[in-house]
Amino acid sequence: MYGIYVSRPFIKTRERSLTVKAGFQYKDVYEYRLDSLNSKDDIRIFNIGVNYDCSDGLYGRNIWGIEYSMGIRDLLGGAGRKDANTSRLNADGQFNKLNIDAARVQKLPLYSYLVLKGSAQISGDELFVAEQFVIGGMGSVRGFKPAIHSGDNGYSLTAEFALSPFFPETKVLGQKIGDTIKLALFADHGGIYRNKPQPGEDKDNYLTSMGAGLRLYAGKNFSFRIDYAVPEINGRFNSKNSETYAQATIAF
């Protein structure tokens, strides 16, 4: 997979920023089963998008993003109309889709904060698997395996509340505990829709999970998080099928 992007900031201040970007992606996606080629998607895409980030007088931050993607049929060896051996029956190299992302980070008293975020994809076409919207896993519905469901259209929603559990004003190694340790409670939900389900597929699927996590921060260069999430299955939250995710980040 290769890609090239150009971006231009139209607004860039301490309180807000607005950036427009455009690019081209060259993707060759192969799937093998038992050492045999099962599917091949040669995808060529032009993208254009806008990102907006702003702070407000309510001690909050808003982040918005919208991106339009257009697949080009037969470009540079790309897929044509209903080629054989693609990942989806009747998938076409020419397609359109729109992706929208939004988030609100709200600072609260006592070193706590609330995060509300959502993502969505809209398309009227039968998309290659690599272009579908996926739900499940880190960054989506955490109580389920990564990308357990995918569809041409979809959405995911997350609400997360984080707080400092004890002695937030106490300093350890020069940093307040309230800025170092956070306990998080969260709920995730998502759904996908398939424009033309194939045999054995559902028209739509939905996932919901709840969980808790720990966040650690050491200055501006290191962070660690661990999440434990319980999925809702058949109307009940089942801890036997829980998922745990851990992530560490170091900035240089």
Q: Where are the domains of the chain?
A: 1-94, 132-252
The amino acid sitting at 236 is: R
Say which residues have a Cβ less than 8 Å from residue 235's Cβ, sequence separation at least 6: none
| Site of tokens 């004003």 | 169
Q: State the pLDDT at residue 35.
A: 79
Whether residue 166 is predicted with pLDDT greater than 90 in this model: the reply is no
Query: What is the C-alpha to C-alpha distance for residues 34 and 188, in angstroms, rounded to an integer?
Result: 35
**8 Å CB contact between 71 and 47:** no
- % of residues, the chain, pLDDT over 90: 72
DSSP H or E segment with residue 106: strand 95-108
Q: How distant is the alpha carbon of residue 158 from its chain centre?
A: 11
What local confidence, expressed as pLDDT, does residue 148 receive?
A: 96
Burial of 251 (0-12, 13-18, 19+ CB in 10 A): exposed
For residue 60, what pLDDT is reported?
94
Helical ranges in the chain per DSSP H:
177-180
Residue pair 195/176 in contact by the 8 Å Cβ criterion: no
**Mean pLDDT for the chain overall:** 93
* pLDDT of the residue at 136: 96
pLDDT per position as a tens digit, 75-101: 988 888 878 888 888 889 999 999 999
pLDDT confidence of residue 15:
92
Residue with tokens 């609260």: 108
Other residues' Cβ atoms within 10 Å of the Cβ of residue 17: 15
For the cut 90, the answer to whether the pLDDT of residue 161 exceeds it is yes
C-alpha 175/C-alpha 83 separation (Å) is: 58
Say what the pTM is. 0.90
pLDDT of 57 higher than 90: no
